[in-house]
Amino acid sequence: MKIIALRKVVSISVLLTLLFSFDLSGQITVMTFLDLNNNGVQDEEEELVTGLTVTATDANGNEILLLDDGHGTFTLPGELITTRLRVRVTGYAPGLLPGVACPTSVFYVQDGESVLVPVSTGPSYNIVTSRILIPCYDGGPAEGKATPAFVSFPYGVDGIAQSKGGSETDPEIDATTEQIGSTWGWLTKIRIKGLLLPRS
C-alpha cells in the first residue's frame, strides 16, 4: 500500500517537474522587410531591413525594447509577455517609410506570434507625369453650376499660379459642380485625403 502511494507521489512530482521546467509561452518575433512592390508580402527578392527600432507596450503602459539580431529580426522572450502588446516600429532611414499594406508601423500582437512588417521606399509614381487632384467646395444646388468641383495641377508645381500673378501653371478644372454634384459626398464615400493620378 505504501509502495503504491509512493509511486503516485513520484509520478505526480515528475509530471509537475516536466510541466514547470519548460516555458509554455512563446516569444514574439517581428521581421522587417523591404517591400519593393508595396503588396505587403515578402517576395523572394525582398530582403530584411536592418537599423529599425521595435518597441512593445503592454496593457499597463510598460515599454519593452525588442531584441535586435542586427539582420532585421526582432524578438521578445515569452517570459516578458504578460498581456496583449502594442508594437511600434521606428527609426526609418532616409528614403524608407512604413509599408502601405499589412502591419505597418503600429500593430498589436499576442504571445507567440510572428509578424512580417513591410518597409516601403515610397509610392510608385512618376513626378513628371503625375498630377495632384484637389476638391473645391460650392454650396447649394449643383444644377447649372459650372464652378470647379475638382481641379488638378502638375505634381512638380511649387509657387503661385499665373492667374494669381505668379509664374506657375494654372490648375485645370477636371469636373464641375454640375457634373458630379456634391464634392463632399464624394470625399466621404471614398474616404481619401488626397490623390496622385497619372495623366495619359
What is the tens place of the pLDDT at every residue in 93-108?
A: 988 988 887 777 899 9
Read off the pLDDT of each residue in 24-46 and give the average, rounded to a whole number.
88
Is there a contact between 42 and 34 (Cβ–Cβ < 8 Å)?
A: no
190 vs 167: CA distance, rounded Å = 33
Q: Pairing between strand 114-120 and 28-34?
A: parallel
pTM of the full structure: 0.53
123 vs 125: CA distance, rounded Å = 6
Nearest to 33 by CA among 87, 132, 101, 123: 101
Q: What is the pLDDT of residue 6?
A: 44
Q: Which domains does the chain have, with CATH numbers?
A: 28-120 (2.60.40.10), 130-198 (no CATH)
Q: Which residue has the cell 500582437?
A: 109
17 vs 166: CA distance, rounded Å = 81
